[in-house]
Chains A and B, each alone.
Chain A
Amino acid sequence: MSETVLDVRDLHTHFFLRRGVVKAVDGVSFSLRRGEVLGLVGESGCGKSLTALSLMRLLPKGGARTIKGEVLLDGENILERSPAAMREIRGRRISMVLQDPQTSLNPVFSIGDQLREALLRRHRAPRPQLTQESVEALRRVEIAAPEQRLGQYPHQMSGGMKQRVVGAIAIAGQPAVLIADEPTTALDVTIQLQYLKLLKRLQVETGMAILFITHDFGVVGRMCDRVAVMYAGRIVECGPVRRIFEAPQHPYTRALIASVPKMTGPIGRLTTIEGQPPSLMDLPVGCRFASRCVQAEPRCLEAYPRTVQVGREHTADCWKVVPA
């Protein structure tokens, strides 16, 4: 159970623009075990999505390059594989669900076409068999009357249904790792919960590992086994969900958890974090959170803190934390 399926080491993905280098992912390390759900949490622009795209090696056009680090999938560094070999890996060993279901499906092909195409990646089978498998794939993601749905086009479905189809496509190749990049952000709140339950069920059934990217701590609590908190291109704290909720160590994590609205207790103003994250083009030499940190000391501005083991499987990048 504790076997590592995905090991990301010191990943650097930067945007090389005419006006400078944007260090969007700047030394990210984490590992994912078989059958585990790891949450990757952080605010907009902290590099979560770019980390995911780096793992898929599908970086956006316009100067983004992974310049350093290793992505070990079952021990094999996929950053070194040829583009053709990488295509064999995508969909079958590592796959991804995108944020916006409205634009994730090709509007001019039927659901059946798009599913069969994904299923063909698993094995070459005659069309009737693929159609039968498509029906099963849709049933698995809890779509009613799947036989009728196959002939339909994306615009004939609701957002929640489309996202379930995207899910079915993503796991059609039976990947060992699924990256879910804010899959519920674009859905209605009531549909969100259904989708999360579905994803969790699929994860338990298939035993795949999920890297779950979100900015919502509520979702983390529901979905994840462990959580990694990202800030300005780096992971600042990582640990089991319970530990992070009960005893967050990094001041940023503490501030984030404090800013989650509570449904109990007296009604007051929401807690916020003062200031802005640093520019990814001009990062400070010291701790990246120092300028907003209430506990910052001179040494926090001078050097980036080392990663400290603060508990079992629990690490934090902060000068002030006490090693376990």
Chain B
Amino acid sequence: MKKEDLPQDPSALVGVTREVCYVKDKDGKYTSDLSIGWDVKKQALDNAWEDINERITEAAAKVKSGEISPVFYFMEKKLMDLPLLSGYTGFWQWTIKRHFKPSVFKSLSQSRLQTYAKAFDISVDELKNFNG
């Protein structure tokens, strides 16, 4: 890539940092230059977020209709998956899956709720009272 071809498309980096890219100067030698973003990858990132937000909205609707517990919703909201949530809570993945059931969630002990709340960085009340 030539230095003059380095894209400068505003992206989420604006106001925070610019990224180093390796480009060729006019003598054909490598140098580094700073870019504020590239439209192609901005679109890829935007799409990924659109997908995440859809999943969060779906999860909220499922909590509302009583299909699934708030644990599932907050897992999606905090961009986690089962292995990650298992890492943060110390619970087995199948245990967490059980806690996705609203009936099981209702009977969770205070200490387990506390563990989830800490993993999600919210209060126990927020976790317990989330209803979509």
- Tell me if chain B binds chain A: no
